[in-house]
Structure 1
Amino acid sequence: MTAPLEGVQARTVYYQDMSIGQSESFSHIVREEDIAAFAAVSGDHNPIHTDKDYGQASQFGSNIAHGLYTASLFSALLGMRLPGPGAIYLSQTLKFSAPVRVGDKIDVAVTINEMIDRGRRVVLECEARVGNTLVLSGEATVVAPKKPA
């Protein structure tokens, strides 16, 4: 199995080096193995995700990825690229707008909307798209790492 950011070198962007409007993104093609691994680690074996016959008979016409799997791609981006290693997740809002299916290429992006000096808090807009379709949006608040002295 390949992780969404496999082959992408982690990097830390320190609070002091951040600016409003700064963004980071990556793309990932959803595979059956991703859904199976997420089901195994989360314990969510809802047949809409894991049973092909059930998925085909559903309103979606196929299995769909777990919504929180898609949201976890925000975590990958925040924890590995912006701010990156050393970031501490404080909160996340999520709005699910459309399904994600096996084979879909998800484009995930985070953009800094606000910086709060007290506590080095950073508020980021989070979006995931399949083509031009917004599938997931929200807002994350993280504590960004402090630049070493």
Structure 2
Amino acid sequence: MAQDVKYEDIHIGDKAALSKTISEYDVYAFAGVTGDFNPVHINSEFARNSLFKQRIAHGMISAGLISAVLGTELPGINTIYMNQELNFLAPVLYGDTLTATVECIEKNDEKHRIVFKTTVTNQHDKIVTDGKARVMKK
């Protein structure tokens, strides 16, 4: 069930996380929704000759997990996602279990805006995606 953490109850250092194992279905569904059918994501034969020698998930799937944490855990519902800086640092492979973590690092009480450090790691604790998100919270 989604949380609804009030702005005044959020403090610097507060964290929340969500984990998901990325399946072949997830990658194909994402490709279908976005129209991104880059063969490195969906074609095994093509991917064998690519940099990673196998299919990789779309980097934006990891970014989507950050959105899920912000929208359901911290700050939760009634959050307006304003912007996101992203760095894709490592590939996400089919079957990887990703954990997206957000940590409050800055608050603007006048405008009810919050900056979160955003990190996505795989099951080996390797950072695959990091950045910062700015949200507005009612």
Q: TM-score, normalised by structure 2?
A: 0.96
Q: Which runs of 5+ in 2 are unaligned?
A: none
Match of 1:120 in 2: 112
Q: What is the CA–CA distance in structure 2 between the aligned matches of 1:53 and 1:70, rounded to whole Å?
A: 24
Q: Which runs of 5+ in 1 are unaligned?
A: 1-8
Q: What is the CA–CA distance in structure 1 between the aligned matches of 2:71 and 2:46, rounded to whole Å?
A: 34
Identity %: 38
CA RMSD of superposed structures (Å): 0.8
Q: Secondary structure at the match of 2:29?
A: helix
State which of 92, 99, 112 in structure 1 corresponds to 2:84. 92
Deviation at 1:58, TM superposition (A): 1.0
Residue identity opposite 1:84 in structure 2? G
Quick check: 2:18–2:65 contact (8 Å CA) kept in 1?
Answer: no
Q: What is the CA–CA distance in structure 2 between the aligned matches of 1:65 and 1:39, rounded to whole Å?
A: 10
Quick check: 2:47–2:55 contact (8 Å CA) kept in 1?
Answer: yes
Match of 2:6 in 1: 14
Match of 2:135 in 1: 142
Q: What is the CA–CA distance in structure 1 between the aligned matches of 2:56 and 2:32, rounded to whole Å?
A: 16
Residue identity opposite 1:67 in structure 2? G
Residue identity opposite 2:135 in structure 1? V
1:27-46 map, 5 Å: 27-46=19-38
Residue identity opposite 1:11 in structure 2? Q
Q: Which stretches of structure 1, 4 residues or more, deviate above 2 A after TM superposition? A: none
